[in-house]
Structure 1
């Protein structure tokens, strides 16, 4: 079967840069899926995109579907013939197959014999099927917002201007969005506006690059990265390349050209984060740092033209950025005229959640919880309370209203300007850490207390009004809050009990509709998040389940157990001891009453049970102090020595002896063995 390259390109007005990647990938996936459903073999599927085009190139695409044998089943044989003559059912089935009755076959099944027909069906040509596949793929694109243009009734994200569909050197006769497919594409809007006739689908990338268009997204991004780094080297500076900004800028240009501009040094009196946010959000500029990490009065812009007079382009960008930075300087100066404390009353007018009150209410609740936590972790209770009172005040400043991403950061600057204690100012920024699972946690004690209090208040409050996350819906980011609490407690090595903290957080709310059982529900939810934490740490699910089976409510202790059991699971004794514990669990579960773990040494009869008893007692003396100090790895290492006496016991001793007293004693021996391991985890679950 012959194969060739397919090219599909949709030419459009400039697309929203944030939507380009999603649309490009969706188009490629839609066509690939359509080909798969049509049973057409295809090789590599490549997605290309620029602001003015979405394209898909598919290598080694088969020119037709494979031939296949089609089998149809008609009436049951008993209903197909009567007195040796075909019935109407048989004749009707034969007509539907286009043959005579005597050309039908008998199909034997487990439900009887049926009349049937089998034929070879020729595969359809790929070029015949492509129009429907492509049209369906385009129609299913996740367009953020449709529009119409001119008198057309066609709708798409932006006006469409051309459609290319080539299979090898052949134009596929097709249409979509009111366009007829052809072989004509367009180059750069300014450098190469003339139509380009593509001779072959394989010519696409080279033809466009010759017309000042880099259609390969990855290549265009790397070109931008290389140019930015080269410009920075000329300026003896370090360029900061934000990956999200790189993607966005790549979605704004077809032929990137990096240029360096400057701004007045007086703007460096403004916090650098403000200037950077303004440059990134408003102008899509990359900023530069000196060797000490300080912001330089320079920026790198990515132009979409290779200008004969680049200085004019640079000056134009400098003129545009000047008022933007002036706005940032104005916001900063204006905000500093009032202290954060003076802004606290304004929080009463900002709703946190309708049923949970305002940000002022949240600040009041956070203050009580943060002060308690600070007292438990050797922090400053007064600083923690003060930080909680000021934590949300920067949300009503001009700077944060303009640049929401600066919340916390501006709180730190303004608190320092107001003369607040250094740790209070630091905590205002740290309250949002960690932002994601692998992010850093707060470094100050006050920051730790505030970050925990804020998340615990949100978790208790939102659960308390019945807004538990479900499926993909998590508008208050409770999953992230729960994992944040876990990370803070574990990475910060804070030996705090989640149940106690949640009870305190819930008690700060005056009225919660779902207060009954609230703490248990939130606690279960948070501990369940440890599964994701364990996975990120490379810890197996069976290890998580073994630890989760125990009533552990201190995340730091939970993490220590996870790591210890993970290490134990790698030992050669682990499998045998896990199997033995599983066997013990099954035996004990069948008993009508709880089994006493006290063993009567005088009733031990067999050498193997005496040996196991002595081993358990010796082990207990060694491991109980280790359990008390949470040294679980060493304790499990000691328990691993029980493998041999446990194996011998099960090989040589009948647990369910006829003598009830002997039976109870042996069950007590096993219960004692199980209890030792359960001090850490239910290792019987490691068998899963």
Structure 2
């Protein structure tokens, strides 16, 4: 009879940032193991706390299903001699299947009489399989570095102390990571530091709750959010709950208790980002803001105990955070004494890449390229150049050396302190945007230009020294840089020729890049190929992008407009027929020694169908030309969709390759004009499915 099965592995405190992924991987491994073993069940429930990983398998079958296995053997005429006695072939077949010859039968498989071995398979007891299933799942966990403890050779992410394996109400006899299974867990390290006997799986969650351990991560997470928000509300503020920090704190406590502390208001003179970074990274505190979004001199911490004197716990946390914030204040005041422009000289001693010079050299190139882009689009080249020069200066400040997440942010505050233009200052922060897929983009033009120039400089530099990404290896983050650059150009409506930009960027590297033309070609191809992934995420078919890519355009903004237009066209009822027609025309024209002239002689149009098509093509050429000039590609393709009927009729009724050379050439010229209308946007023949 089916029953629930409980597995719990007790450990030293597990790495908080990895707890969720460890639990997910364990559940996946167990699910896979159950499937391979053929054990039926009604699903898994997974639980985790700082000192335990647990799985409940619901309604686990007591054994694998029993089924009959039929194995066909040699033909009867080979298995038996003329007197009906079994031959060596029969004996070998019987032995292979663990049977006596007398247990074999002779049956016809539709072609001949053959020996048959029929046996029952399955029926393995679940209790005998579970140990191997969990051992295998634990061995496959994504643990970068395993550790040993004591005199054992056993390895795991942390030392293990207890093992619970209970099926129904019985303990499953197994050994995992050197531990023998039982039914005793452990409660909270301080509130209930004693054994907890688990009668069965269904008792698990509540039994552990009674021992001050909330094993359900989702429940703990929700409780933390509720408590943190309540604490913030009590001081008239709003808690800012970062998802990553929330996950980490959830993995740090078994019994969460939120408490509010405070720090001296003088620290609010320090950039809020530095205070927040210090509180979150070092102490795992949530910060609080007022109704205007301004940082309050408070923090919310999660204790792992219900203290009889919470004031003492709060005081301890306040004592711990004070020197951290004092350090931040000291760094801030110290850094302000040296202008960013003076800090910049220190970048000369920091290598960006051995063959590409120092970070100072990189800022020179960024400034030059950003100014060139600004001049081309009518932006302020002076601001772009200044922002480029200062872009990395804060990397050598005390603040950033202590809080690496402050790069760019510290530069913003120091630039304002130095009296730099506000847009220049803001660009120092915005240069790193977007940081990841879906991240926000710079708000200022100068910030956009610096972000673009920085990425292009890195891309051409790394390609230029022959270290382009291969396979899954991308140490300089060129995929992310390429997508970021494309987003900046497309979403910020910057209509520039990417090839020309890359040429300018390559030129700035001077002799560092030995093969400039090859570098531009490779970098351009690589960046434009990133569009594929971009459009795949937006559910745009690959052939749509390829239809546009066939044009060989290197203006990302224009490429995007064409792709969106072709995607809209591909969804129209007329698209399939027109794509097929374009493919047919392309095949016809590709076989010619020379392409037909563009002119169509109307006097040579003899068939009604070709007259109608010629008239329609001429009319559409007039109507779509201004649309193309305005880059209204979607409107142009929508106009051309009405050509379906005359095109279909033309191919149904007109012989293109007529014997009369003048007729043939005239019809080919007409088809050339037809295809040219579509080719002004993309090669839509690529939308037609390939035969084969």
Cα offset, 1:200, TM superposition: 0.8
Deviations 1:555-589 (Å, cap 9, x if unpaired)?
A: 11111112222222333322322222222223323
CA distance in 2, matches of 1:100, 1:174: 35
1:136 alignment partner in structure 2: 136
Cα 1:164/1:677, change in 2 over 3 Å: same
- Does 98-107 or 482-491 show the bigger shift? 98-107
Moved over 6 A (4+): 107-113
CA distance in 1, matches of 2:120, 2:281: 62
1:643 alignment partner in structure 2: 644
CA distance in 1, matches of 2:191, 2:628: 74
Cα offset, 1:520, TM superposition: 1.6
- Does 552-561 or 75-84 show the bigger shift? 75-84
Question: Secondary structure at the residue paired with 2:650?
Answer: helix
1:478 alignment partner in structure 2: 478
Deviations 1:339-364 (Å, cap 9, x if unpaired)?
A: 11112221121111122221112112
1:467 alignment partner in structure 2: 467
Matches within 5 A, 1:138-287: 138-287=138-287
Contiguous gaps of at least 5 residues in structure 2: none
Cα 1:589/1:77, change in 2 over 3 Å: farther
Aligned residue pair count: 687
Cα 1:598/1:156, change in 2 over 3 Å: same
Instruction: Return the TM-score normalized by structure 2.
Output: 0.96
Deviations 1:403-439 (Å, cap 9, x if unpaired)?
A: 1111111111111111112221111111111112222
Contact 1:367 1:386 in 2 (8 A): yes
Matches within 5 A, 1:333-344: 333-344=333-344
Q: Does 1:489 align with 2:463?
A: no
Question: Secondary structure at the residue paired with 1:244?
Answer: helix
Cα offset, 1:74, TM superposition: 4.4
Deviations 1:144-175 (Å, cap 9, x if unpaired)?
A: 32222223332222111100011121211001
1:547 alignment partner in structure 2: 548
CA distance in 2, matches of 1:639, 1:460: 40
CA distance in 2, matches of 1:102, 1:39: 31
Contact 2:275 2:328 in 1 (8 A): yes
1:613 alignment partner in structure 2: 614
Contact 1:259 1:303 in 2 (8 A): yes
Cα offset, 1:111, TM superposition: 10
Deviations 1:259-298 (Å, cap 9, x if unpaired)?
A: 1110000000001001000000110000011111110001
- Does 246-255 or 460-469 show the bigger shift? 460-469
Contact 1:495 1:556 in 2 (8 A): yes
CA distance in 1, matches of 2:143, 2:107: 49
Deviations 1:584-609 (Å, cap 9, x if unpaired)?
A: 22332333443433322221110110
2:55 alignment partner in structure 1: 56
Cα offset, 1:103, TM superposition: 3.8
2:676 alignment partner in structure 1: 675
Q: Does 1:6 align with 2:5?
A: yes
Contact 1:221 1:246 in 2 (8 A): yes
Contiguous gaps of at least 5 residues in structure 1: none
Question: Secondary structure at the residue paired with 2:355?
Answer: coil
1:295 alignment partner in structure 2: 295
Matches within 5 A, 1:360-379: 360-379=360-379
Contact 1:363 1:389 in 2 (8 A): yes
Q: Does 1:425 align with 2:425?
A: yes
Deviations 1:351-382 (Å, cap 9, x if unpaired)?
A: 11122221112112212111101111222212
CA distance in 1, matches of 2:598, 2:73: 71
Contact 2:8 2:52 in 1 (8 A): yes
- Does 216-225 or 654-663 show the bigger shift? 654-663
CA distance in 1, matches of 2:111, 2:34: 36
Cα offset, 1:320, TM superposition: 0.5
CA distance in 2, matches of 1:79, 1:368: 87
- Does 328-337 or 568-577 show the bigger shift? 568-577
Matches within 5 A, 1:37-56: 37-56=36-55
Cα 1:582/1:40, change in 2 over 3 Å: same
Question: Secondary structure at the residue paired with 1:517?
Answer: helix
Matches within 5 A, 1:584-623: 584-623=585-624
CA distance in 2, matches of 1:114, 1:346: 86
Cα offset, 1:538, TM superposition: 4.3
Cα 1:112/1:475, change in 2 over 3 Å: farther
CA distance in 2, matches of 1:451, 1:270: 26
- Does 663-672 or 587-596 show the bigger shift? 587-596
1:28 alignment partner in structure 2: 27
- Does 58-67 or 116-125 show the bigger shift? 116-125
Question: Secondary structure at the residue paired with 1:232?
Answer: helix
Question: Secondary structure at the residue paired with 1:529?
Answer: helix
Contact 2:373 2:449 in 1 (8 A): yes
Contact 1:466 1:513 in 2 (8 A): no
Contact 2:355 2:512 in 1 (8 A): no
Question: Secondary structure at the residue paired with 1:225?
Answer: helix
Question: Secondary structure at the residue paired with 1:572?
Answer: coil
- Does 569-578 or 296-305 show the bigger shift? 569-578
Cα 1:128/1:652, change in 2 over 3 Å: same
Question: Secondary structure at the residue paired with 2:261?
Answer: strand
- Does 458-467 or 78-87 show the bigger shift? 78-87
- Does 564-573 or 315-324 show the bigger shift? 564-573
Deviations 1:304-337 (Å, cap 9, x if unpaired)?
A: 0111111111111001000000000011111111
Cα offset, 1:680, TM superposition: 0.8
Deviations 1:79-100 (Å, cap 9, x if unpaired)?
A: 5344454332322332343434
Cα offset, 1:473, TM superposition: 1.6
Question: Secondary structure at the residue paired with 2:330?
Answer: helix
CA distance in 1, matches of 2:527, 2:570: 25
Cα 1:623/1:154, change in 2 over 3 Å: same
CA distance in 2, matches of 1:122, 1:445: 69
- Does 361-370 or 151-160 show the bigger shift? 151-160
CA distance in 2, matches of 1:359, 1:106: 82
Deviations 1:160-191 (Å, cap 9, x if unpaired)?
A: 11000111212110011111111111111111
Instruction: Return the TM-score normalized by structure 1.
Output: 0.96
CA distance in 2, matches of 1:122, 1:428: 67
- Does 202-211 or 292-301 show the bigger shift? 202-211
1:511 alignment partner in structure 2: 512
1:630 alignment partner in structure 2: 631
1:17 alignment partner in structure 2: 16
Contact 1:463 1:514 in 2 (8 A): no
Cα 1:96/1:558, change in 2 over 3 Å: closer
Contact 2:465 2:512 in 1 (8 A): no
Contact 1:221 1:250 in 2 (8 A): yes
Contact 1:466 1:514 in 2 (8 A): no
- Does 152-161 or 268-277 show the bigger shift? 152-161
1:87 alignment partner in structure 2: 87
